[in-house]
Structure formats: C-alpha cells, structure tokens
Structure 1
Amino acid sequence: MEPASTLTNPNARRRIIGLKRELVRLEQWLTDPEAETRLFSVSGIGGIGKTTLLAEIVGRCRRSTALTLWLDGQTELVSSGAFLASLETGLANEYGKHRAPGTPLLPYLADELSKQRTVLVLDNGERLDRLESWLLSSFLPRLRSTGMLIVIASRGGLPPKWHSHPYWSSRIESCPLRLFTREQSLDYLRESGLETETQLDVARRTDGHPLLLALTVDLLRSRGQDVPFRTDDIPAILSGDWLREATTPALHQALTALSLLPAADQATLNELLDAPLDIAAYHELGRLSFVRSTPQGLSLHHVVSRLLREDYLRRAPGQFQTLRHKAFRLVADKFHDADRRTQTHIAAHVLELYRENLPFAHAYADFSAPLRADEPPRYRSEDLPFLHRFLEDSLARSDWHSELVRAEDCHAVLDEIVRHSPEGVCVVRRDNGTPIGFCAGFRLHAGTVPYLERYAPSFLPMLGEEAQRLAKASPDTADSLCVLLAAVDTGQSLYRPEELGALLMQQWLIHMTSGWRGIMASADPQLNSLLPLLGFQERGRIRPEAAGAPEMIRWELDFRHTTFEQWVQLVLRQTNPDRMNCEPEPTDRAAFEADDVLSLLRHWLDPEQLQQLPVLRQLRLSAADIQSRIQSILNAEPPPFPLTQLEQRMIRESFLRGDLNKNELAEAFHMSRTTFYRHSRQAVRHLAHVLNGG
C-alpha cells in the first residue's frame, strides 16, 4: 500500500502491506518454466489497494524480463479499436516494436504477444463486459503463447461469463483484497513519524482501510503533530467516491439508508426511503462493489457503512437522527422473530449505530473502536493456556479479576468454568484468532452452585431465597450467568487495555440479548460507575466477611424480562439524555405499543402499580377496565386475529397466573428458552394489535 502522495510522485517509496499472498503467487508463476496461461482477477472496494498491487506486479514482471503492458480500462476498454491501439502504443513506447506498413493490427499484436512470456495488466476493469464477447471469441484465441498472464483489477471481480467459459473458467485465480489487520495497520504506521499514541488512534479509527489510512497519515503529516487528532478529521473523500458509484440520486439515498441497517430486503429498505426503489433499482444497488447479498437482503461493507453514516451526520445532523431512529425501530421489531445468528448481527449493529452514546473514556472501557461481531466469541479448548496467562498477569497487577474470588483460587475457578460452563466464557481475539482478552462465569444451576459456594461464598447470599431454587435447577433450565473473572493481554501493543475491555463488554452484552440474565458484583468505584451506563440495574449490596473490605454492589442485566429495544433506550438515556435518539412519548395517544402491553401484563397481579402506568393515564383507562378487556380477549374462542390459541395460553401462563418461571414455562410448552422467548414476544405484539381494534 502506498500513501496518496506516491500516486503523483513515482519516485516516492512505496510500502507494500497486506499483499503477500498475491505476490507469492505471482512469483510462483514467473519462476515456473512450464507456467500455463492464467488470469488473475483482483477485486475489492475502492481504495483497498488494487492499483498498488498492479503497480507492484508490473515492476516485478518487468524485472523478470517478461513483456509487460499496462492498460487503463476507463479509456482503453471503450471499444476493440481503442484496446488494440493501446497495445500497439505500449509495444512501441516500452519495447521499440513497430508494425510494418500494410500488416493488419490484430495479427501483428497476436504474433508479438506470443513470442515470449507476456503479462497484460488491466486496471479499472469495470467496463470489461463491453468487450468480453470480442475478447473471448476474437482476441484471446489468437494468442499462441502458453505462458501468458492477464491481470484484471475491478471492484466487483470478473463478470459471470468468464467463470462459465469452457477454457478460462479453470484458469481464473480470484484475488479478493481484504482490509488491513490491526497489526498490518500499525506496521504501515511505524515509519509515519507519528507519535505512538497517535498511531494507535489512527489504526483504530481508520479500521484497516488502506487508502483511508494513507490519507489520514498525509493529513496529520501536513499539519504537524501539535494539532490534536479528532475523529472528524478523517477524510470524507472516500464517502463521496463510494456514493459516485451509485449513478442516480435514488441510489444515493438508498445507500445512505442502507448504511443504517445491518441488512435489508427491498421492502425493508423502502420503509426508510421517500421514493421507494423498484426491483430493477434494488438489483442495481446490489451490483455495487461494496454491497453484498445476504439471506436477510443487501448489506454494506462495514467500513463503507460507517463512513457514509459519519458523512451523513456531518452534512445533515437532524435528518440523520430522524432516519437513524426509524432504522432502529425497524431492526428492533425484527429482532425478536430472528434466529440467533441474525439477532447477534442486529445487536452488534445497534451498538455500532449508537457507539457515540457509549463512554469514550473510562478506566476499564473505551468504546471508540468499531465493533465487528463477525462470529460469536466462543471458547475453544486451545484458548485455555492464553487465558491462564492473562489471569496470571492480572493477578500480579491486582486488576481485572473478580473481587468475589480469592486470588489463590482464580486459576482453579477458570478451570472449573471451562469444564462445567464453557458457554459462560467470552473471548476477544486478534485477526489471526489468537485470544487477547476474556471474561468467564458460571451458568447458575444445581451443578455449578457448589463451586460458587466453594470459591465465591459471598455471592449466593446476595441472591437471597433464589439461591435455594438455583441449587435445585437443572442445567437445561439455566438462564442466569454470574461473571467471576476477566483479564486482557496487556503485553500486546495492538490494542489498549480499555479497548479490549470495551470489546469484551460489547460481546458479552450481545450474548446476553438472547434471553439471559447477567450478574456481576463489584466494589470497584470505576466499574460501578460504568455498569449503570450500560443498562445494568443495582440489585442489592453486601459487605464481605473480611475486615475492612469494601461493600460490594450486585448488578444485573436481565434480558429474560427486558426487551432489546427497552435496553437500548435505557442505555441512551443513561449515557446521553440530552441527545437521546428515541422519539418522545406522545401525550395524547390512541394506541397501545407492544412494550405498553408487556408492562400491563407484568403488573397484572398488582392493581395499584397497574393504575400508575403512563399508558393508562394517557388513554384515560382504569386498571379494572384494561383487566376486563384483556381477560375477555384471552378467553375468546376462537381468539381474535392475529392472536392464536397457543399465544393465548402462553400469555395466561406467563403473566396472569405467575406461578412458573420462564424456564419452567419453556419446558411446559416443549420449547427451548430462546424459542419460548421469541413466541411470547410475538404473542404480546399480537395482543397489542387486538387491543388497538385489529
């Protein structure tokens, strides 16, 4: 990857980062005396390094004595004549070869290119489809050389016709370029002359995008290091470049809306647009280089998505806030009916969407780094030596590990957790999969309570009478997780400890959204100031038996009873009430929302609390009125549409009777806890629909 300055100064030193695999393959072809004719298809979003790779390929090929020609697809793929004329000019200017008078151009070029090992390099190959029929039927068959390499760089890769061709399909090597890892970004930055802390900031905020990294370095160099680095200083030129790929104003607007969604089908995307896209425009959007198709619809490349959002926020902050809220309502509504993998992506996307509302500077967590939850942070058996090492270092510094467990027991506790509750271990990794941080805790059931009694004796008294129930609960009904240990790798230089703390916290929160209750206990004032900002609720205090030990606070985040959207709105209120991005509650409402009905059902057995709910005051209803209406709906045969008989039963058993917990209810309905949670949420939404008159 080269800085932007080298694009206009060919003598500037070019730094090649992150292209090792492609260059090794090139060297193998160049040094193979029996090399076959091959085609390298280099692809990737704008600014990811395609032209840099081509420039390095040309340099190495010319040093190897291969006949090498570079063509620019923007001007030299407009017609077959322009293509052939460019090849002739290249042979004349680079190699002093001239066509004899009267010799036809195509036979002359075919003969010259077949005399020796030849490399054709074609940049900006997006227009290749204009000439592909002619190239495949008239030009390429004339080349007799068995040692030709054709390198074509384009944003979307080769058109399908090439991949289905009887000759070329087996000779294509796809080279999709990827973003820099954090390690590669820092490797690039080491020779930038920037301070170490600034290098870490730049690596984090440019998110591995090569051109964005180069432009940011050039910007900082040009103005000097005395001026502080701010997120807003990252160049917005790339946002404009990506928007220019969309050829119509309608697609411009659709891209901006898509940046606010994890993925969207045509109908979902149109809910955010003033002018809906028709099916042809939706398919055109899907052909852009930074848009990919998923089972849930079209999805933007995460770097493009982030930069488009930031650019939109700068240009039109009011419109951005309004559209972001609409997008949040859309994804929150889809959350409860989605499968677990989709829920994970939705939760991660919402955290990223509102990252500006999370604490940016805290002793334990810095949320300024983008979160990429591509895969669940599951524990693997090969992780254990790393986790013990992090824990040992943490114990030596007296930080991170839980105050509930004695220092001498921490390693034993970790071993018992991975043996009995491996799903209670959350691991954050480097790009190569190596662990760099973890938190770990027990699922609470009869099999794990003895370990809590042994290693964290002050925890169970915090739970009161509930501890007796948990001591008899089966593992299948466990729905609570007590975090006991956490540590990060402070020996690595890629991430600050606070960054890793934030990534761990976000991954753990995402895991909890599937219907878990998370429990933590701490006497650390820094941690106790952070947890309520993330939606944790204080559930009591306890003073340890040791003399002089500080009082500990028990914190809970309960997704068994808190909906995903309620949690997000709580976080927004806690962290930034003046800029909360949720619409205000109307003062004169005419309809029940699903969350209103959920509150009614939760307070069903307490008429006094029921009467205090804002929704009843706003709709001028009494507790007796709403109880009578809901009772009538839940006893109707057949139930009013869209409520089903199963949903009637679920609501009656879950809320009106209240003698079974969620785990027992799920077992009674022959469902997993997650499936029961999803169906019960749908039942509440359907009840709200009926209450509003169908």
Structure 2
Amino acid sequence: MESILISGNPASRRRVIGFERELDRLEQWLAGPHAIARIFSISGIGGIGKTTLLAEMAHRASRSSALALWLDGQGELATSGTFLSSLELALESEYGRRREPGTGLLPHVVGELSRQRTVLMVDNGERLDQLEGWLLTSFLPQLESSEVLLVVASRGGLSDRWHMNPAWGGGGRIETFPLGLFTRAQVMDYLRESGLVTKVQTEVVQKTDGHPLLLSLTVDLLRSRGGELRDRSNEIPAMLSADWLREAASPALHRALTALSLLPAGDPLLLNALLDKPVTPGEFHELASMSFVRATPQGLSLHHVVSRLLRDDYSRRHPQRFQSLRHRALRLLAERFRTVDRRTQMRIASHVLELYREFLPSAHAYVDFSSALRPGEPIPYRPEDLPFLHRFLADSLARADWQSELVRAEDCHAVLDEIALHSPEGFCIVRSDTGIPLGFCAGFRLHVQSVPLLERFAPSLLPMLGEESVHLRRVPAEAADTLCILLAAVDVNQSWYGPEELGAMLMQQWLIHMTSGWRAILFTSDPQLSMLLPILGFQAKDRHRQDGSTGGQLNWWELDFRHITFEEWVQRVIQQTASGGPATVAGQEPDAGIDAIETKQILHHLSEYDKLEQLPIVRQLRVSGAAVQACVRAILTEDNPPFPLTRLEQRILWESFLCKELNKNQLAEAFHMSRTTFYRHSQQAVSHLAHVLTQSLADGGKGTG
C-alpha cells in the first residue's frame, strides 16, 4: 500500500498511514535470524508514495540496528564509480566507516555492507538500467551470501533482465511491490488529523481519488487558506500534470498523452484517429515505456488518476479544443463498440460515462456524480450477498427511501428473495475493495415464468404494459430481454461512502450492464427520480394513475438497448455535452438563430410583450412578442421536453424565469445542488432552450413538434 506522512505533534516523529504489506515484509526480513540477500522492487506512478515508503523503511532499519543507506538515482547512478563513491560517502558521514589507505573502493564498500545487516535504498531508480549489467555481474554477486536488502523505488519497476537473472530473479530473491491508491478508509484516516471541518473533508475525499500526493497537496493548500475552497485549487492538477508530462520528451508525445487520456485504451490506429499528426512507431514505443502507461490487449492505457488530471488540466487551458477532441473520442469509441468483445464493450461504456460524468448532477437526492469513484469489474450476485441486501433494504424501508410503488412495503423482502431465487441476473451490486456489497438494485426479467410472480407481488404492472403483457406470457426465460427494476438500496451504516456516491456508482455500473442489449423499465411517481432518468438516456413512455386514495401519477421510464444502438446513445451524450447544440457536435456551424444570451433576454422579459418585440433577435425573426411567449411556454410545459432539453432543465427554467418565487440560493437548495452546480445546469438549460426555440420558431412557432 502507498502512504502519506501525517503531522501530529510537531515535536514528535510523524506517523505513517498505509504500507502495511511492504513494511510487514521488511520487519520479517529484519527480524529473521539469518536474513538472505534480497531485492525489493517498489514501483508506481509519480506521487504514489515511493519516497515516503523508503523513508519509513530507513527509519525502521536504523531502529533495528541495521545499516540504512540511501542513494538518489537522479544523481548517483550515472556510473559505477559514482555509485560506489556515493556509498563510500554515506558510510563515512553517517557511520564513521572510513576506507583504509590502499583499499580499493569496491572491496571497501562490499566489505562494509557485509559486516552487518544492511538495507540499501535507491530512490528514483529509473536510471538503474545504466548500471544493471555491472550490478548483476560485478557488484551484487559479491553480496549473495551477505545480509543485504536492496530496495529500489522506480516508476516502472525493475526490468526483465533482473527477473531473468538466475541468482536473483531465478533464485526467488526479488519481491515486487506495485503501489496502488489509498482506500477510502485510509483517506478518511488521513483527513481525521488534517484539522479541516467535516464538510471540507468530505469534498476532499471525493475529489482526490485516493492519490496520495494529490491528497496531501490539497490538504496543505486548504490548511494554508483556512479550509476555504477557491479557484486556485485548480493549480494542483496542473502541477501534477506537468510532473507527469515531463516524462514526455517531445510535443508530439504531449499531444498523444492528451488523446490517450480520452480513451480507455488506444492502439496506434485508434490513437492516430484522434491526432492531427500521427505518432510514429518510435513515439508509440516511448509512450509504452512511461511509468503511468501500461500495455493491454486493446492498446496502451493511462493510469486512471493521471488520465483524469491530464483531462482536467487540458480542459481548463484549452476548453474549446478539449471539447472538440472529446467529441471525436466519443464517436470513435461508439464505432469501435460494435467490433469488440463484451468485456471490451463494458470498458468502453464505462469510459464514455467517465467522460460524461462532469455533465451529470453533482448533487441529487439519489446520486452524486462529482466523486471520482470507479465501479471496477462487476461481480455477479452470490448467495452470501443476500443477508447484506436484506439489511440495506430494511434500512431503506425504515427511512421511507425510494422503493418501487409497484410493490407493497411488506412484500419487499419476499420480492428480494424471489429475485435471488428466480432471477439472479436481475441484480446489479456495487462492492467494496474486498468484495462486500455496498449497494444494489434488483428486478425481474420479464418472461412466462416470472409473470406469476409479477401478478402476486406487482399486480398493477401487467395491466400498465397493455398488449405487451399478453406477449410476455409466451416469452421463454432464455429469450427474456427486458428487466423491470423493483428494488434498490445502499449501505447507509458504513462511513466510507456517502449514500449518493454509492447511488451514482450503482447507476453507472447498471448502465454499463444494460449496454449489452437489455431493455430496462421503471415506474415511479418520484419527481426527483423523474428528473434524473432522462439525463441518463431514459425515455418517458406513458403515465398511469396509481391505485388507492392518493391518485398520483406513475411515470413509465424506459432505456432500451435492444433497439437503440450504443452509437445512438453516445450521440445523445455528445449532444448533451455540446455547448452549441447538436449541429455543432457533428462538426457543422451552429444553427443560425437564437443564441444563449438572446434566449436569456427573452426569458427575462417573457411577460412583457412590448419589451419582447423590441429585442433585436425578435425583430430579426419577424415574430410577435405574443408568439415568442407562447412558444417558450409550450416548450417549458411539454410533458416530454424536446431534445436536447431535459426535464431537469425544463423545471429549472420554469422555476427561475416564470415562477420567480425563489432566489438563486433557494433554487439551488430546492434542486439539491450547490450554487455552482445550479449555475452550471442553468447555463446548459438556457443553451439547450436556445436550440429548441430556434427550431420551433423556424417551424412557424407552432409548438415544439
């Protein structure tokens, strides 16, 4: 595990978070009665904690009375002479071990290292390849019978030459320790001693993605500002991005890395399709050698933290170029989706959602997409999951959280058992790093065998499906392609993830699952859920009046990947992320018509015919103020708002410009958003309305069509 040092009492030594596996292995070697010579290879991307780990190892080695020597690969690995001279200086300055006159440098160093148990640490070991021949043939063979531990920290780890060496790799004397990211529990442990208030800690947890250096820099920056989050926090991704980009020696590689950050993995063909100037085979090989790039069967893949921070930095510096490049990447991924296997398709779907995430609601009653959570490889339902799911469901029912109105509360646990028994494919479960369930949604696959269960537990469903219910009674189980979601809940008793974060991860994983050719249907009267679903591609099908005294409306929502191709769904995503509307996305000029600024002017004067008619854009269009007002009202009251306007955006515009009962802060609170998030959604809503209004007025102002 990676680590970060945390300040406690300034007078005391700082304690270490993480590194349990690596430090336990060091302690075993130090405590053994006869420690054999070994090599530890520590690897990981920049800022992951390699230097911190070596510092802690040095401390523990010294505490156990072993020699602890440190070399910095940036200046002490150029030649064998530099290497030995640096060790001689360390032995003399730290331990008083001077070389006797007439003693050669190599015999002196080997002799001193052999006298007692020694831990030799090499930081920044990327340049060790310049010496590996000499080390493996001349230096290390003289230490094979000594109690020496060589610890090398580098971004890429030791080369194959080390692992193929008969004495060391072949002899099982090399242990590798690739460092990963902080777990959520470790991040929260770190932040508990940060001095930051709980609300700020929560935001730091969500934004730093478990990357140690990003976390520590963010905390230091917030401490220096009294915990206030300001725009200058954007400096951190830029700082880290610059550090990683230093590995790229040429502008061509810089551009290639930016393009690669928009792909789950890229072979030369896919990567060059994104670049104006193709990368050469030599440059592609250079990319593959970088510490934060790994080779996969689908091509080169960036470490996801590096990928995200490179995107963040590039989008801030060159927003228009970044948006254009992202749209090209989305189209290329949609095209490739058809030709790859299912596992690769799931990776593509996951990456598309990651590129779309910044446009999804960062604050919502059920989901929070602002966190950088990643669902990981899905694990199917297992029988041992069921007690967890029942507990989550019981907590949800006790709090009256969302559950399907089709199922009575007293039947929910029985429905969960029946889904587990008859339709386990209907589960989608998000899990912790150790595989423990953290949240789930579940439903029945619709076919002849599930119809009796639906009649028993959700009797109102089949009548609402109309003629389709007759067809379902003839569909064999193996031909089922529709899933009706009935239950969903997350673990609210653990402290590592917020319920809305888990909701977002659950929704993301479930959408990825649906892309394999499923149709999902959902009935709800919950307005919050009805605002969220169209943003994720759901289509409104119908409305049905609920049974009982409430008389509420059930909205039928559907996401159908049987008849909509992945390419079409991605095109919707592209259209929703395009500031200039769908025409801009396709690489054309924006529609000649009403822009966002002009639309906002119309909204501000919507109730004033005379002022509307004096607006330059209205006079240019040669329509009356009454016609413009009627058109806008029709668009904002349409049951199914015209694309790309969403229901959420429709409501925001209605409440902001027609009702005018709440100020901006109150509106943000009413929509469960921060002021910044509400502003972003409002801007996008006005932009989308501009596109719809242009089209509608071009059709003669007869409505939304």
Residue in 1 aligned with 2:618? none
Shift of 1:5: 9.6
Counterpart Cα distance in 1 of 2:465 and 2:577: 28
1:184-195 residue pairs with structure 2 within 5 A? 184-195=186-197
1:236 corresponds, among 235, 238, 242, to: 238
Shift of 1:110: 1.2
Counterpart Cα distance in 2 of 1:71 and 1:224: 38
Residue in 1 aligned with 2:657? none
Q: Is the 8 A contact 2:578 2:584 kept in 1?
A: no
Residue in 2 aligned with 1:494? 496
**RMSD between aligned residues:** 2.1
1:439 corresponds, among 434, 438, 441, to: 441
1:496-515 residue pairs with structure 2 within 5 A? 496-515=498-517
Counterpart Cα distance in 2 of 1:123 and 1:525: 56
Shift of 1:370: 2.2
Q: Is the 8 A contact 1:429 1:435 kept in 2?
A: yes
Residue in 2 aligned with 1:135? 135
**TM-score if structure 1 supplies the norm length?**
0.81
Counterpart Cα distance in 2 of 1:339 and 1:536: 25
Residue in 2 aligned with 1:225? 227
Are 2:524 and 1:537 aligned?
A: no
SS at structure 2 position matched to 1:245: coil
Q: Is the 8 A contact 1:182 1:204 kept in 2?
A: no
Shift of 1:578: 5.2
- C-alpha change, 1:355 and 1:389, in structure 2 (3 Å) is same
2:248 corresponds, among 246, 254, 260, to: 246
Q: Is the 8 A contact 2:37 2:144 kept in 1?
A: no
Residue in 1 aligned with 2:176? 174
Residue in 1 aligned with 2:208? 206
The number of residue pairs the alignment matches comes to 586
The one-letter amino acid of 1:561's match is H
Residue in 1 aligned with 2:344? 342
Q: Is the 8 A contact 1:47 1:211 kept in 2?
A: yes
Shift of 1:102: 1.6
SS at structure 1 position matched to 2:488: strand
The one-letter amino acid of 2:211's match is H
SS at structure 2 position matched to 1:399: coil
**TM-score if structure 2 supplies the norm length?**
0.80
- C-alpha change, 1:557 and 1:155, in structure 2 (3 Å) is same
Q: Is the 8 A contact 1:377 1:507 kept in 2?
A: no
Are 2:363 and 1:361 aligned?
A: yes
Counterpart Cα distance in 2 of 1:19 and 1:291: 23
Shift of 1:573: 4.4
Residue in 2 aligned with 1:472? 474
Q: Is the 8 A contact 2:22 2:177 kept in 1?
A: yes
Q: Is the 8 A contact 2:574 2:585 kept in 1?
A: no
Identity across matched positions, percent: 64
Q: Is the 8 A contact 1:40 1:149 kept in 2?
A: yes
Counterpart Cα distance in 2 of 1:115 and 1:540: 83
Counterpart Cα distance in 2 of 1:465 and 1:144: 79
Residue in 2 aligned with 1:150? 150
Q: Is the 8 A contact 1:38 1:172 kept in 2?
A: yes
Counterpart Cα distance in 1 of 2:222 and 2:550: 51
Residue in 1 aligned with 2:85? 85
Residue in 2 aligned with 1:261? 263
Q: Which stretches in structure 2 are left out of the alignment for 5+ residues?
A: 591-705
Shift of 1:274: 2.3
Residue in 1 aligned with 2:50? 50
Counterpart Cα distance in 2 of 1:234 and 1:437: 32
Residue in 2 aligned with 1:450? 452
Residue in 2 aligned with 1:280? 282
- C-alpha change, 1:481 and 1:144, in structure 2 (3 Å) is closer
- C-alpha change, 1:181 and 1:378, in structure 2 (3 Å) is same
Shift of 1:272: 1.4
The one-letter amino acid of 1:162's match is W
- C-alpha change, 1:394 and 1:2, in structure 2 (3 Å) is closer
Per-residue CA deviation, residues 535-592 of structure 1 (Å, 9 max, x unaligned), is 111111112222224211110011111122322333454577657696147599xxxx
SS at structure 2 position matched to 1:47: coil
- C-alpha change, 1:246 and 1:450, in structure 2 (3 Å) is same
1:575-654 residue pairs with structure 2 within 5 A? 583-584=585-586, 586=588
Residue in 2 aligned with 1:676? none
Mean Cα deviation higher: 51-60 or 349-358: 349-358
Residue in 2 aligned with 1:19? 19
Mean Cα deviation higher: 38-47 or 194-203: 194-203
Per-residue CA deviation, residues 73-95 of structure 1 (Å, 9 max, x unaligned), is 11110001100100110110111
Are 2:102 and 1:113 aligned?
A: no
Mean Cα deviation higher: 563-572 or 64-73: 563-572
Shift of 1:14: 3.1
Per-residue CA deviation, residues 401-452 of structure 1 (Å, 9 max, x unaligned), is 2111100000000011011111110111122221111100011111111111
Counterpart Cα distance in 1 of 2:301 and 2:478: 36
SS at structure 2 position matched to 1:236: helix
Shift of 1:55: 0.2
Shift of 1:328: 0.9
Shift of 1:208: 0.5
Per-residue CA deviation, residues 192-251 of structure 1 (Å, 9 max, x unaligned), is 011112112111111000000000000000011245689746442111100001112111
Residue in 2 aligned with 1:630? none
Counterpart Cα distance in 2 of 1:581 and 1:20: 54
Counterpart Cα distance in 2 of 1:35 and 1:383: 44
Q: Is the 8 A contact 2:443 2:483 kept in 1?
A: yes
Per-residue CA deviation, residues 27-86 of structure 1 (Å, 9 max, x unaligned), is 001000122111000000000000000000000000101111111111110001100100
Residue in 1 aligned with 2:693? none
Residue in 2 aligned with 1:294? 296
Residue in 2 aligned with 1:405? 407
SS at structure 2 position matched to 1:447: coil
The one-letter amino acid of 1:179's match is L
1:425 corresponds, among 421, 424, 427, to: 427
Q: Is the 8 A contact 1:44 1:155 kept in 2?
A: yes
Residue in 2 aligned with 1:351? 353
